[in-house]
């Protein structure tokens, strides 16, 4: 089974720089990132929401997967509070409110210090720091608000290719 990805003009390094600039600007303004700003600033135009409702329900989880021009898989995901996480891990970011996860590569999730805007990396998607607290603001689909380069083409990738690609 293969999966289609949008390929964007930016390299993975340029995307990482865009993430760093976004969270640094939020920290300088002492503002909590919003889902609308994350969508408008970090999700390229033309990338569809690939999330399935699951335990969150329709309209409560958004997942955007795409590939950089240098072949690195990228993902931006945000979701409503996870009630299962809240009951299993009281006080965790994911259970306390809306959170965002950003993945660069096969398994690296970014962590963000919201006070300073500093970016780190984690390989564990369920780690508390990989769930960045955000404020939910509904997204307006107006093109004028979008700041990221559009998709340049789509590519289909098989799981075997991904395993081979990341094994190198």
Q: Considering its fold, how many domains does the chain have in total?
A: 1
* Domain span holding position 33: 3-167
* Cα separation, 18 vs 129, whole angstroms: 19
Render pLDDT for 105-147 as a digit per residue (tens, 0 to 9): 988 899 999 999 999 988 677 788 899 999 999 886 544 345 5
What tokens does 111 get? 């962590």
* Cα separation, 44 vs 27, whole angstroms: 23
Asked if residues 50 and 65 have their Cβ atoms less than 8 Å apart, the reply is: yes
Render pLDDT for 155-166 as a digit per residue (tens, 0 to 9): 555 444 433 333
Render pLDDT for 56-115 as a digit per residue (tens, 0 to 9): 776 799 999 999 999 999 999 999 999 888 999 999 999 999 999 999 998 889 999 999
pTM score, two decimals?
Answer: 0.82
Task: Return the pLDDT at 150.
Answer: 52
Compute φ and ψ for 9, nearest 5 degrees: -70, -30
3-state secondary structure the chain: CCEEEEEECCCHHHHHHHHHHHHHHHHHCCCCCEHHHHHHHHCCCCCCCCCCCCCCCCCCEEEEEEECCCCCEEEEEEECCCHHHHHHCCCCHHHHCCEEEEEECCCEEEEECCCCCCEEEECCCCCHHHCEECECCCCCCCHHHCCCCCEEEEEEECHHHHHHHHHC
Task: Return the pLDDT at 108.
Answer: 87
């Amino acid at each position: 089974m293969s999966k289609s990805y949008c390929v964007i003009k930016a390299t993975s390094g340029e995307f990482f720089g865009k993430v760093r600039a976004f969270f640094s600007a939020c920290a300088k303004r002492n503002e909590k990132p919003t889902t609308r700003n994350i969508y408008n600033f970090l999700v390229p135009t033309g990338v569809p929401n690939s999330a399935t409702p699951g335990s969150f329900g329709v309209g409560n989880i958004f997942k955007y997967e795409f590939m950089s021009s240098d072949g690195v898989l990228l993902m931006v995901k945000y979701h409503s509070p996870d009630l299962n996480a809240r009951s299993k891990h009281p006080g965790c970011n994911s259970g306390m409110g809306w959170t965002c996860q950003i993945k660069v590569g096969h398994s690296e999730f970014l962590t963000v210090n919201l006070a300073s805007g500093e970016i780190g990396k984690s390989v564990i998607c369920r780690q508390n720091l990989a769930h960045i607290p955000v404020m939910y603001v509904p997204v307006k689909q107006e093109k004028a608000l979008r700041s990221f380069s559009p998709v340049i083409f789509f590519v289909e990738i098989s799981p075997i290719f991904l395993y081979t690609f990341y094994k190198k």
